[in-house]
């Protein structure tokens, strides 16, 4: 029997470059129990865990105990499904007697060498032989398979999808509330730390800032001079915000665009001067070009999902698949 090739795990359809880079960096060994068989190709526990490893590391940072175990098992099941689907697609590619242009394989290989060793072919071959126990010929076959799967998936799933403007408008009307934007404001601040460089002369410093503001000194100029925040050099620019400290928010709600609050705001350890440059009232946005593109992408993804599921169902009916249910992942 043949074993399935190992590819990178990234959203279950990653590029080969990321895979080899990841595998070069790993030295992880698992049991090699067979979890599934697609035609005469077996998929092992080792392969599933190798694919899942990067995402499992993220799960370990987010979950613990039984929840981590459950999440890990669910992830490995998803990976197994993905590997089975890849083998099915490759079987179909071979059944169609399709071919891959050699230049595509070479281009993928060149990118892989550049990404992993900066273009050093000898170092790349050494890594490949020692760490992966693979020859260049074997790697090229692996790349050929990876490209074949990508091309056939694109042909069967992505090709031919067209989203008319009318469908975009209908989706917008039916789902307008999901695009509601919160009220937001473009905020500038001057931050004075009570235990900072103005400690011992806080009142004098605040009076000095207020006096200069009243005389017309630009807020951004004073922020560069007095503020102790990381963005002081940017004139105290906080960018567009929709959520801030509750006490600050109560003040901001009373302000108009272009207004500077006429007194400092005491927030415990810090004192703030604030300037609201612009206000966006939020609400449901107009159907402009950006939103049209966003909706078109959503509808395209939805259509691709439907076509992909249909394609995979057809392949399951066409080719033999055996899962070893009950085995540990």
Whether the domain at 2-162+303-323 and the domain at 181-280 fall into the same CATH topology? no
Does the pLDDT at position 27 exceed 50? Answer: no
Residue 329's pLDDT band (cuts 50, 70, 90):
low
Lowest pLDDT segment from 11-15, 104-108, 137-141, 169-173 = 11-15
Lowest pLDDT segment from 24-38, 171-185, 265-279 = 24-38
The 10s digit of each residue's pLDDT in 217-257 is 999 999 999 999 999 999 999 999 998 889 899 999 999 99
Asked if 3 and 37 count as a contact pair (C-beta separation under 8 A), the reply is no
The 10s digit of each residue's pLDDT in 39-67 is 999 999 999 998 899 999 999 999 999 99
Residue 17's pLDDT band (cuts 50, 70, 90):
very low
Could you please report the per-residue DSSP string of 14-47?
Answer: --HHHHHHHHHH--------EEEEETTEEEEHHH
pLDDT at position 326 is 59
pLDDT at position 131 is 83
Residue 15's pLDDT band (cuts 50, 70, 90):
very low
Q: Is 181-280 in CATH node 3.10.50.40?
A: yes
pLDDT at position 328 is 60
Residue 132's pLDDT band (cuts 50, 70, 90):
confident
Q: Which two tokens stand for residue 187?
A: 């905020």
Asked if 84 and 36 count as a contact pair (C-beta separation under 8 A), the reply is yes
Q: Is 2-162+303-323 in CATH node 1.10.4030.10?
A: yes
Does the pLDDT at position 158 exceed 80? Answer: yes
pLDDT at position 57 is 94
Q: Give alpha helix (H) positions in the chain.
A: 16-25, 45-62, 65-95, 102-117, 121-131, 136-153, 165-174, 202-214, 219-226, 246-252, 289-318
Residue 2: phi and psi, rounded to 5, are -95, 150
Question: Is 8 in a helix, a strand, or coil?
Answer: coil
Q: Which residue has the tokens 């102790």?
A: 228
- b/e 29-60 (16+ beta carbons within 10 angstroms → b): eeeeebbbbbbebbbbbbbbbbbbbbbbeebe
Residue 24's pLDDT band (cuts 50, 70, 90):
very low
**CA separation for the pair 253, 65 (Å, rounded):** 45
- pTM exceeds 0.75, yes or no: no
pLDDT at position 32 is 76
Lowest pLDDT segment from 21-30, 114-123, 158-167, 255-264 = 21-30
Question: Is 104 in a helix, a strand, or coil?
Answer: helix
The 10s digit of each residue's pLDDT in 171-217 is 999 999 899 989 999 999 999 999 999 998 999 999 999 999 999 99
**CA separation for the pair 321, 235 (Å, rounded):** 63
Spell out the domain ranges in the chain.
Answer: 2-162+303-323, 181-280
Asked if 57 and 11 count as a contact pair (C-beta separation under 8 A), the reply is no
- b/e 300-314 (16+ beta carbons within 10 angstroms → b): eeebeeebeeebbee
């Amino acid at each position: 029997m043949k074993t399935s090739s190992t590819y990178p795990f990234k959203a279950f359809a990653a590029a080969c470059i990321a895979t080899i880079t990841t595998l070069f960096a790993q030295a992880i060994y698992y049991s090699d129990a067979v979890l599934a068989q697609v035609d005469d190709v077996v998929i092992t526990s080792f392969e599933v865990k190798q694919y899942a490893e990067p995402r499992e590391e993220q799960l370990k940072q987010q979950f613990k105990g039984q929840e981590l175990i459950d999440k890990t098992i669910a992830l490995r099941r998803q990976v197994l499904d993905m590997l089975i689907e890849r083998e099915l697609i490759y079987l179909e590619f071979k059944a169609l007697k399709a071919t891959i242009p050699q230049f595509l394989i070479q281009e993928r290989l060149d990118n892989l060498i550049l990404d992993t060793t900066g273009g050093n072919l000898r170092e790349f071959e050494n890594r490949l032989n020692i760490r992966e126990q693979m020859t260049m010929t074997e790697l090229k076959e692996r790349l050929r398979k990876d490209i074949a799967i990508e091309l056939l998936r694109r042909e069967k799933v992505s090709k031919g999808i067209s989203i008319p403007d009318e469908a975009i408008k209908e989706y917008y009307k039916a789902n307008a509330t999901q695009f509601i934007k919160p009220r937001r404001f473009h905020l500038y601040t001057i931050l004075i730390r009570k235990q900072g460089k103005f400690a011992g002369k806080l009142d004098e410093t605040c009076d000095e800032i207020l006096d200069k503001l009243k005389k017309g000194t630009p807020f951004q100029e004073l922020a560069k001079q007095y503020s102790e925040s990381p963005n002081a050099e940017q004139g105290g620019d906080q960018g567009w915000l929709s959520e801030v400290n509750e006490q600050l928010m109560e003040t901001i709600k009373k302000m108009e665009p272009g207004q500077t609050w006429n007194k400092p705001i005491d927030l415990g350890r810090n004192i703030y001067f604030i300037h609201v440059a612009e206000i966006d009232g939020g609400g449901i946005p107009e159907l402009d070009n950006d939103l049209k593109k966003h909706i078109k992408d959503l509808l395209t993804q939805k259509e691709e999902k439907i076509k992909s599921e249909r394609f995979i169902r057809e392949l399951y009916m066409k080719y033999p698949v055996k899962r070893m249910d009950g085995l540990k992942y």
